[in-house]
A and B are shown apart, each in its own frame.
Chain A
Amino acid sequence: QKEVEQNSGPLSVPEGAIASLNCTYSDRGSQSFFWYRQYSGKSPELIMFIYSNGDKEDGRFTAQLNKASQYVSLLIRDSQPSDSATYLCAVGGGATNKLIFGTGTLLAVQP
């Protein structure tokens, strides 16, 4: 079992819809959870981070964390074609907070 798992997609949604991206992790001691967006050929760009159970909203983005279920998700409301990218879930913790990444979900927003 991979430490951080994501559906590779592609996840295709129409413009204006809600895109839901999911991630599960295996280490119950994980303390920090991040969503990065990566456009093709570019480096990861931080979208959201969450540390506590529940929801965290920032503009069109909402991160949800459920530590009991070892599950973290990212919702993108009013999806735009510019949101089309690979979304990487990353989990951190421990003395160094090194990040363990999932392989990413490719999101395609159709105009």
Chain B
Amino acid sequence: GAGVSQSPSNKVTEKGKDVELRCDPISGHTALYWYRQSLGQGLEFLIYFQGNSAPDKSGLPSDRFSAERTGGSVSTLTIQRTQQEDSAVYLCASSLVVWEIAKNIQYFGAGTRLSVL
């Protein structure tokens, strides 16, 4: 697609329910990142995918959070047994991997605003 697409744009859920957030990266981008933006916390890294594998999951805040990527394209971030502190905007970014990885430019989707009541 032309840009990074995320769905849903907004999600309201009850505490304890599971949610799935979807990210469709820019076509041809093999690197995919999930970030979370909370009020007063800034933007924090959650997980990185290269193809379908996730070599860096260091930012996932607890074992309630998991993510997968299939076909080297779409990724799903799942939050189980949601808590109020999970309320945030979840942002996905993708980049075209070039040989000098530090020069990969990340482009962001519009995000999913998650509200846990």
Give chain A's interface residues, CB within 8 Å of chain B.
31-32, 34, 36, 42-46, 49, 51, 88, 90, 92-93, 95-104
B42:A98 contact, CB within 8 angstroms: no
Interface size on B, residues (CB 8 A): 27
A44:B56 contact, CB within 8 angstroms: no
Residues of B within 8 A of A95 (CB): 55-56, 101
A100:B104 contact, CB within 8 angstroms: no
B48:A98 contact, CB within 8 angstroms: yes
B112: shortest Cβ distance to chain A, in Å? 10
Residues of B within 8 A of A49 (CB): 105
Say yes or no for B2: interface residue by CB 8 A criterion: no
B45:A98 contact, CB within 8 angstroms: yes
B46: shortest Cβ distance to chain A, in Å? 9
A97:B102 contact, CB within 8 angstroms: yes
Contact among A32, A45, A92, A96 for B56, CB-based, below 8 A: A96
* Nearest 7 Cβ contacts at the A-B interface: A31-B102, A101-B43, A103-B42, A43-B108, A32-B102, A96-B48, A98-B45
